[in-house]
Structure 1
Amino acid sequence: MPDTAILDVDGTLVDSNYQHALAWYRAFRRFGTTLPIWRLHRAVGMGGDQLVTHVAGEQAESGYGDDVRAAHGEEFDSLIGEVAAFDDAERLLSGLREDRMRVVLATSGSSEVAGHLLGLVDGRSYAHDVVTSADVEASKPAPDLVELALDRAGDGDAVLVGDSVWDGQAGVRAGVPFLAVRTGGFSDDELTEAGARHVVASLSELLDHIRGQGRSAA
């Protein structure tokens, strides 16, 4: 039974992946690059420091990487009002705290965006700590965010909860078991191949699974 839950935010607690995909699409268009939105969606969950090269190549990164990241921030700001929390996000957070688990929120987004999104779920009142891309050198799928979250949580057994293959890859690299939810639009097979030990359809189902592990351990 884990005593610490490291939770992703975008696509896991709040329904923001498709707004991010559209924001990246519009940002790249500013620089004369048109990418299929489905391809951009497959990269959501990866930090912006790595996404540009992943979807558009090293030439795009060297030519306008910082500028397109800034443009994505502006485009996402125009859409952020449409982002809503998943209905059962607060049930998950409150349930984990009721079960005396430490909760650390870890997001590849900026601290400013994280602040707004966490406000949708009252995240800071439930979390023992919050880590963002500003706190690490490399974001997901690098393990830095997960490793820092582990360090902030202190000693204990942790699980990583996320919605994307990039969460899974970061968890595997950090040596943390990955539990996946399909809320980000990735399939069961994709999440399992990325390292998920269990895949669920909702956060409520995830909470029931974690509590079931506790009952089995008892």
Structure 2
Amino acid sequence: MTLQGVILDIDGTLVLSNDAHAQAWVEAFKKFGHQIEFEQVRPMIGMGGDQIIPKLVPGLSSEEGEGKKIASSRKELFLDKYASNLAPANGARKLLLKMQEQGLRLVVATSAKSEELSVLLKIAEIDDLLEETATSSDADSSKPDPDIIKAALHKSQLQPDQVVMLGDTPYDIQSANAAGVDVIAFRCGGFDDAQLAKAIAIYDTPADLLAQYDNSPLSTGSSSLV
């Protein structure tokens, strides 16, 4: 099947934000009396709060009580304290412009909430390039469950074999694969090649992929994704 669209993760893929998310979680948990180390939560970044909170503090839920307060505090910390210092991944905007030039439809699939996504898209300098987004609000469960990827497919009206996803975490790969979608992974999110092994290709940054575009799975000259 010829490639027709690309599903985009944002955090760690197009914005260098994974460390900031982890630090915000550490501070939010501490505010409510839970001593969580950066090294505990950093490997979980890429999952949504509905997955992270009960893994770190069993019995808590992001939907109610103290867990919900922790999730809310984490969002406030991220937006108010950390977002202003974030930078786009190298080549993020140029890669998206190239994909659009090639006629590919672009749709976001992120565990972020809509308020955070708006900020992240501006940081990545791509807020004017994207119309279709699927966030945690569109799904019952966040990554690594496939709900958000399925929501992105529904919004783009494309089939799994007509798209590829750009991501940076093993949770992107797990969620996309569960929805029948292949993933091109980036190392700039801080995960190593062994953790990204189920991706169909791995690049350092969006700029690295752009430099090798014609020989990559994104090339529309390819008759299929493999």
* TM-score relative to the length of structure 1: 0.92
**Structure 1 stretch displaced more, 104-113 or 150-159:** 150-159
Match of 1:71 in 2: 73
SS in 2 for 1:14: coil
Q: What's the counterpart of residue 4 of structure 2?
A: 3
Q: State the match for 2:204 in structure 1.
A: 201
Deviation, structure 1 residue 131: 1.4
Letter in structure 2 aligned against 1:95: K
CA 69–123 in structure 1, closer or farther in 2 if over 3 Å, else same: same
Q: SS of 2:181's equivalent?
A: coil
- Deviation of 1:47 after TM superposition, in Å, equals 0.5
**CA deviation after TM superposition for structure 1 residue 9, in Å:** 0.5
Can you give the 5+ residue segments of structure 2 that lack an aligned partner in the other structure? Answer: none
Residue matched to 2:60: 60
Counterpart Cα distance in 2 of 1:97 and 1:91: 10
What SS does the aligned partner of 1:90 have? helix
Find out whether 1:191 has 2:192 as its counterpart: no
Give how far 1:72 is off: 0.5
Between 24-33 and 149-158, report the one with greater CA deviation: 149-158
Q: CA RMSD in A?
A: 1.8
Asked whether the equivalents of residues 4 and 103 of structure 2 are also in contact (C-alpha less than 8 Å), the reply is yes
Q: CA deviation at 1:121?
A: 2.9
What's the secondary structure of 1:93's corresponding residue? helix
For 2:101, the equivalent position in structure 1 comes to 98
In structure 1, give the amino acid aligned to 2:105: R
8 Å Cα contact 1:179-1:196 kept in structure 2: yes
Q: Work out the CA distance in 2 between the residues paired with 1:159 and 1:124.
A: 21
CA contact under 8 A between 1:102 and 1:128: conserved in structure 2?
A: no
Provide the C-alpha distance between the structure 1 equivalents of 2:101 and 2:152, rounded to a whole number of angstroms: 20
List gaps (5 residues or longer) in structure 1.
Answer: none
Deviations 1:77-129 (CA, angstroms, capped at 9, x unpaired): 22111111123000111010011100001111110010011112343422241
TM-score norm. by structure 2 comes to: 0.89
Match of 1:132 in 2: 135
Contact 1:131 1:148 in 2 (8 A): yes
Q: In structure 2, what residue type is equivalent to 1:143?
A: P
Q: Equivalents in 2 of 1:141, 1:155: separation in Å?
A: 21
Q: Equivalents in 2 of 1:97, 1:187: separation in Å?
A: 29
| Paired AA for residue 60 in structure 2 | A
Q: Give 1:10 shift.
A: 0.7
Residue number in structure 1 paired with 2:184: 179
- Higher share of residues assigned helix: 1
The amino acid that maps onto 1:206 is L
Contact 2:169 2:196 in 1 (8 A): yes
Deviation at residue 210 of structure 1 after TM alignment = 5.0
Distance in 1 of aligned mates of 2:193 and 2:203: 8
Aligned to 1:165: 170
Q: Distance in 2 between matches of 1:126 and 1:211?
A: 22
